[in-house]
Chains A and B, each alone.
Chain A
Amino acid sequence: MAALNQPLADVAAELTGSAAARRPGGLRASQRRRLNAFRYLAFTLFGLFFLLPLLAMVRFSLEGTRPGTWSVSAWTQIASYPGPPPLLSSIEVTLELAVITSLVMLVLVVPTMIWVRLRVQWFSRVMEFICLLPLTIPAIVLVVGLAPIYNRIERYNVSALMLFWAYVILALPYAYRALAAGLNAVDATTLSEAARSLGARWGTVMFRIIVPNMWQAILNALLLTIALVLGEFTIAYLLTYVNLQVNLFEISRSTENAGVLFSASAATLLFAFVLLLILSYVGRRLRRGRP
């Protein structure tokens, strides 16, 4: 009766007020629960989508001569698979290519990017265009352009290591993007002016002031380059060089379901993953004390 006698507006205000007091917190909590549930579901589904084939590959690599049995022979064969050429030699060539490509990439691109940023800013757009161009060019077209050059140098009996020039071009967009992100995170202009006002020359500015603040970006560029070289097949195959992926392809053509295919692929992935962990750890150590 008291509620009925109360003015209607007061009752409405009381009800909506208490509901409003509950609603913001209540809805937010349930929204948050739904969002978390969606995140976990999406993570699980996509995780399975990526992980299941990898797990299957690892399982196949540990398969024995009879289905359902286990054996590490496919893994031991990585070092001893005769080929031709021997799998181990193509692994060595690929790793050497990864190192050479990374070094050439960093030596060419890092100083150039810093110099353009500090001294020739108007050129940065042009540089960006050039560096990103290989993304738009299909590998087959790249090969058509590179083939005459490689045909000429073939007469000097050069090894597959000469592929590093092609791989530098191929890795350029990825390395550029990683390095550009690192350079953008640093106020390079102010730091360089501060260093110069203290007596630093341009070399000191670049390598003792700017580069130490780009280590994470450099490591990222390194990782991307190495991962690209480890997985590259098209250019090497079309230019008739033998790297790891070409060798695995040849093995698959000659021997169906060869266990060493799966073990070598799994080893490559594992290597890239371990490298990522190492570079992340190194990056954290280098960033010690920094934001």
Chain B
Amino acid sequence: MEGLSRHYGTVVALDNLDLTVAPGELIALLGPSGCGKTTTLRLLAGLEDADTGRINVAGRDITRLPASKRDMGMVFQAYSLFPHMTVQQNVAFGLRLRGVSAQQRNRRAIEMLELVDLATQADRYPHQISGGQQQRVALARALAIEPQVLLLDEPLSALDAKVRAQLRDQIRRIQLEVGITTLFVTHDQEEALAIADRVGVMRDGHLEQLAAPTEVYSRPATAFVAEFVGLSNRLAGVVSGSSVTVRGRDLPLVDLSTPPGPVIALVRPEAVVLSSDSSSESGPLVGTVIATTFLGATSRVTVDLGDTTIMAQLSTSEASALPAGSRVSLAIRPDPVLVSGESQVADEE
């Protein structure tokens, strides 16, 4: 996709987007509602027309092709199975449109249903299977036509958490098995980070960062990415050279070209280490636990440092040893941090 733009009246949905997806790659587009990720997908699918820009697939310009001729498989957020057809008929529908013989159609449909572990449900109607099963059938239907690109528009958002996690892993397994180029749109960062080869974080119609999940998380390119993907503590600091001093500690910078001066450092909760402090001595990294949020295997502990609060992510067993009111001392791991100018943060807020 080159220079893609799309406007709805005065609203800019996409702003000169450039995105290249390698063959067999799974890219997740992540961002808040209204950032343009679904618009990107719909332009690629041909369900909407771009105002400017081009879309090339395997060297072919498909910008002006109608949706029915783009050879893309798509799975939608809303359940999109045809209610009047059985599961097998749904999967075979695209093949029927292509004039494939009945015998081949049925064989291919069963093959796809076996891929998603639903061959036994072939004769059921969509309303007779669960939501997760329906989305798997939708996936089988999209793959049955052997598309060049697979498009997934928040396919898991209507499912409950446990089914979502299972189906997410299954989608990734199938995508790797089939080797199909895939664009996956989601607002759930856990989904994006878990299955994508690269994650594209979008905001206001453009890409803030496109990189591997680990890089997006640990070396966010902008303050928006740092705060949208995972949590961040905002701590005042001063840049000097290639490091930023935060509460008396020197931390390396992600962006070495950051000019010196006061900044806001974005520190991940996992980089904050807590230990109980039985002394009454105060300091820049000594504080009082004010709240603990249980998240399952981990817990998030909020500590009052006097002039600010800071979050730390610990194992639940460690956090249980630090009840509210405990005095704790903190250490910040020297992971590279992103910083932003104070005025920039104010603008973004």
Contact = CB atoms under 8 A, between A and B. Distances in A.
A197 B74 contact: yes
Given A197-B47, A199-B145, A191 B82 contact: yes
Contacts of A209: 82
B45 A190 contact: no
Interface in B288-335: none
Interface residues of A, number: 20
A34 interface: no
A196 B67 contact: yes
Interface string A177-220: 00000000011001101111111110010000100110000000
Contact of A198 (B86, B93, B128): B93
Interface in B28-80: 45-47, 66-70, 72-74, 76, 78-80
B161 interface: no
Given A197-B72, A290-B127, A213 B45 contact: no
A290 B47 contact: no
A67 interface: no
Contacts, number: 70
Contacts of A290: 83-84, 125, 127
Interface of B: 45-47, 66-70, 72-74, 76, 78-84, 86, 93-94, 97-98, 125, 127-128, 138, 141-142, 145, 151
A193 B80 CA distance: 9
Contacts of A291: 83, 127
Nearest to B81: A194
A289 interface: yes
Contacts of A194: 74, 76, 80-82, 138
A194 B74 CA distance: 7
Interface string A96-134: 000000000000000000000000000000000000000
Most B C-beta atoms less than 10 A away, residue of A198, A212, A289, A291: A198
Nearest to B147: A197
Contacts of A212: 84
B84 A199 contact: no
B84 A193 contact: no
A85 B74 CA distance: 63
Interface in A15-52: none
B97 A200 contact: yes
A58 to B, nearest CB: 40
A283 to B, nearest CB: 13
Interface string A204-242: 100001001100000000000000000000000000000
B83 A199 contact: no
A187 B77 CA distance: 12
B4 to A, nearest CB: 19
B225 to A, nearest CB: 31
B145 A198 contact: yes
24 contacts: A186-B83, A190-B76, A190-B80, A191-B82, A193-B74, A193-B76, A194-B74, A194-B76, A194-B80, A194-B81, A195-B82, A196-B67, A197-B68, A197-B72, A198-B68, A198-B94, A198-B141, A199-B145, A200-B68, A212-B84, A213-B82, A213-B84, A289-B125, A290-B125
B46 to A, nearest CB: 8
Contacts of A191: 80, 82
B47 A198 contact: no
Nearest to A286: B84
Most A C-beta atoms less than 10 A away, residue of B66, B67, B151: B67
